[in-house]
Each structure stands twice: as C-alpha cells, then as structure tokens.
Amino acid sequence: MRTNLDCLPCFLRQALEAARMVTQNEGIQRKVLNSVFSILSNVSVHTTPVEIAHLVHLRVKSITGDYDPYKEAKKKQNELALRYESTLSAQIAEMSNPLKAAMMFSAAGNAIDLAPNCPIPDIYKRYMEMISKGFAWDDYELFLKKLARSKSLLYLGDNAGEIVWDKLLIEELLDHFDMEITYAVRGLPILNDVTMEDAHFVGLDKVVKIISNGFDAPGTLLDRCSEEFLKRYKTSDLILSKGQGNYESLSEEQRPVFFLLNVKCPVIAVDIHCNVGDLVLKAQSNHARFHH
C-alpha cells in the first residue's frame, strides 16, 4: 500500500507522542519533530507507510536515547488484557459460533487501545457493541474453507494487549482444526507492537510456537525479515495477518493471506472500501487460489 499525504501529519503526531513518553524536555521534543519533518520532506512517494514509520521511530529512539518508549504502556496493556481474559473466554464459549466470535473479538481487540485507566466494564460494553455489528467485510466462510484444506497457518501479530485475544482465537482454531500454527512477533520494540517478551508475558508461548520476524518495523517488510520468518511465510498454507501495519505492508502480496483488523484511519478505510470503526476479515484478492 502506498503512503497517502494524510499519513504525514499522523507520523508527526506519533513521533511527538513517543518523545513525550520518554521526556518532558520540550527542547528534545522539538528536536525530534524537526528531525522527523526532514525525513518526511525527503521521503519518496513510493515508500510504504510502514517503511516511513520505521524511519520515524528509529529517529525518535536515537534522539531520545530510549529504545523502547512504549515499554510501560505495553506492560499495562498486557496486564489489563490478562485480567479480562477469563471473562472474554467465557463469553466466546457461550456464543453460537465460538470460532467466529473469537475472530470478531480479536479484530475488536485491534480497535480498542487498552488504556490503563479505562474500567473493565466500559471496555466490555464497547466490545459487545462492536461484536454486535459483525464484520463489515466478511470473508469468514472462505476462511473456513481454506482452513479445512490447510495444514499450517502463520499468524502475524500486531499489538501488545490484544495478543491476549489472539491467544483465545488460536485456542479456538486449534480446537476446530488439526493444523500447525506459528505466531510471528516483531524482532525488536517498535511502538506498542508485540515482541517476544510480550508473547511470553501473556503465556502465548504455552499455546503456540512463536518466532520473531527479525525486524523492528510496525508491519511486515519482507525484504528486511529474517530467513526463519521468510521460510514460514513462503511455506505456510495460510497466513492470518492482524492489524493495519501488516495490512499496509502485505496488501499487494501474492500469498494466501487473510487480513483481520479494525479500520482505524481514513486512508485504510478508502483502500479497503470500508468505514473507520469497521471490523474486517478480508481475503487477499490478488491471490489466484482464492478465485477457484
């Protein structure tokens, strides 16, 4: 997916947010913004949003000297999600279609930034509102058909916190299908994206094999990923790609990918032909096998 002009102010906002997590020094914050301005003014129009985000956050890290600005925020998101896990698990079990419910909860988890000061009943209410609307783009039946014919699934993780919902979805998938699932995390800290440390913290490693994609972009830049990851990517029968960053980097790919996300920005909304706030389960339309 190409970068849109609307992405540029978003990068500045992200850079300032990250700098403020690390320091209250306005001089350093301004230095970060000036430096990011210079990146954005020189970047090629053909660069993807994920590539630019990687450059931007690398610059934030080097200027502030903090290589994991979101560390505390991620820890709080993971802790809150874990406190909520049993409630959600019970809710999924009661649904008429537990697997589809788990998928919708996982997509809704992508939507709600688990703010530490947000009470659990409020989060629960917002989840149920989203779930009641269902998927705006719903390729669930096609996904089931592909699952039935697949022996291996590569699940691309997105953010901390919501990985607990990913865990619930993976448990449902393993209950319903005899398949090998591998869960991929980012190679190093970037934004509030999931790393190996987060996956172990929420106990995801007890449910599924976890690998690192070997790089610290907030998405999946295949030309920078590790050999171990690329081997899985190329040989897996099916790929489940979580979140906007993975969608931005893989939306043109010729692989059997299903995108599971919440639409959080107008640029993605236009690209997917949905509205901001929608839950999406979308098959990669470029892949020939999907047309049979």
Question: pLDDT tens string for the chain (292 positions)?
Answer: 888 998 999 999 999 999 999 999 999 999 999 999 999 999 987 899 999 999 999 999 999 999 999 999 999 889 988 988 999 999 999 999 999 999 999 999 887 665 545 566 677 788 788 889 999 999 999 999 999 999 999 999 999 999 999 999 999 999 999 999 999 999 999 999 999 999 999 999 999 999 999 999 999 999 999 999 999 999 999 999 999 999 999 999 999 999 999 999 999 999 999 999 999 999 997 554 444 3
d(CA 18, CA 283): 33
Nearest-5° angle of CA 13, CA 136, CA 53? 25
Burial class of residue 102 in the structure, from the number of CB atoms within 10 Å of its CB (0-12 exposed, 13-18 middle, 19+ buried) = buried
Alpha carbons 207 and 96: distance in angstroms, whole number: 24
Do residues 244 and 270 lie in contact, with contact meaning Cβ atoms separated by under 8 Å?
no
For residue 82, count other CB atoms closer than 10 A to its CB. Answer: 15
pTM for the model: 0.94
- Sorted by where each starts, the structural domains of the chain and their CATH numbers stand as 7-64 (1.10.8), 71-291 (3.40.50.10880)
Sheet holding 238-242, edge to edge: 135-138, 279-283, 257-262, 238-242, 152-156, 180-185, 209-212
- How is residue 4 annotated by DSSP? P
The C-alpha atoms of residue 103 and residue 262 are separated, in whole angstroms, by 11
| Exposure b/e, 177-215, CB count within 10 A at least 16 = b | eebebbbbbbbbbbbbbbbbebbebbebeebbebbbbbb
Query: How far is residue 96's CA from residue 134's CA, in Å, rounded to a whole number?
Result: 14
Centre a 10 Å sphere on the Cβ of residue 4 and count the other Cβ atoms it contains. 16
